[in-house]
């Protein structure tokens, strides 16, 4: 493994007698956004946790720029890899939005210290995610959608090279969901590698450079978004997808279920 990127090499994840991921090979490269799609229970979230180093493969390995991910300390991983699964994050009580975003800098120094660089990056993340009016609000008083924007701001402040997100727009209203996905696309264009689990297929095809379909724990498709055959994608997901052009852009909508 000599190529730059975050790579899963022939990895298996098993829990007891159940196989969650099977013989998965995947590489995330700087400068691209990868949308991970699939049915519920297919293994999408497990794949992201494997890439983040939060679980260890039963067989196979994960590499970060040719180094075995398991050989890196938790602090080293946190400097390079940002992970967000909003639905799984407990709600901290008694802390402001600004403090929550500042926590994302923990891997850069001891948690109790703060630097001018930290302040600048936190302020920039607050501005980028339009959180200025909420910066001093207690985090636990925010709506689900507002909290999601705070978590995204934390990832921005973290300065990680690889960003992994599990359904980051699930509680956002339409405008902030679009803006959040545009933000992720901007991170990829700026050189980060971004992988995001999405159930919205239209959004996945709109923002992604590649689409990876996980099916029963395996990578069933890994294709450039612009050339992905939507009929094949829909068939594997059990739905019929219809394509329409809106302002010259391909859009997809679910047009029914595939007959069993």
Q: Which of 22, 19, 2 is nearest to 11 (CA)?
A: 22
Q: Is residue 200 within 8 Å of residue 166, measured between CB atoms?
A: no
| pLDDT digit string (tens) for the chain, length 260 residues | 457 899 999 999 999 999 999 999 999 999 999 999 999 999 999 999 999 999 999 999 999 998 999 999 988 998 999 999 876 777 889 999 999 998 888 877 655 555 667 888 999 999 988 999 999 999 999 988 888 889 999 999 999 999 999 988 877 787 878 888 888 999 999 999 999 999 989 989 889 999 999 999 999 999 999 999 999 999 999 999 998 888 878 888 888 888 66
- What are the extents of the domains in the chain? 6-228
Asked whether the whole model's pTM tops 0.85, one would answer yes
Residues 255 and 242: their CA atoms lie apart, in Å, by: 6
**Cβ(110)–Cβ(190) under 8 Å?**
no
SS3 content of the chain, % helix, strand, coil (to 5): 40, 30, 30
Selected from 3.40.630.40, 1.10.10.520, 3.40.50.300, 3.40.50.2300, the CATH number assigned to the domain covering 6-228 reads 3.40.50.300
């Amino acid at each position: 493994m000599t190529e730059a990127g975050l790579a899963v090499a022939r990895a298996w994840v098993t829990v007891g007698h159940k196989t969650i991921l099977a013989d998965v090979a995947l590489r995330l490269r700087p400068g691209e956004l990868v949308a991970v799609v699939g049915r519920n229970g297919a293994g999408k979230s497990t794949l992201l946790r494997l890439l983040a180093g939060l679980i260890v493969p039963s067989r196979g390995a994960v590499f970060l720029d040719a180094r075995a991910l398991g050989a890196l300390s938790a602090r080293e991983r946190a400097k390079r890899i940002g992970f967000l699964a909003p639905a799984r994050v407990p709600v901290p009580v008694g802390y402001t939005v600004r403090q929550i975003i500042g926590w994302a800098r923990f891997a850069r120094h001891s948690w109790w210290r703060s630097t001018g660089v930290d302040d600048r990056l936190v302020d920039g993340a607050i501005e980028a995610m339009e959180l200025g009016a909420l910066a001093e609000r207690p985090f636990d008083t925010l709506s689900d959608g507002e909290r999601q924007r705070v978590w995204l701001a934390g990832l921005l402040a973290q300065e990680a090279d690889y960003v992994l997100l599990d359904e980051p727009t699930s509680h956002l209203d339409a405008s902030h969901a679009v803006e959040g996905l545009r933000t992720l696309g901007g991170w990829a264009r700026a050189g980060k590698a971004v992988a995001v689990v999405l159930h919205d297929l239209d959004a996945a095809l709109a923002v992604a450079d590649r689409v990876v379909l996980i099916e029963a724990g395996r990578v069933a498709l890994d294709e450039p978004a612009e050339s992905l055959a939507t009929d094949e994608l829909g068939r594997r997901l059990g739905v019929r997808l219809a394509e329409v052009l809106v302002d010259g852009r391909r859009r997809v909508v679910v047009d029914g279920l595939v007959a069993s």
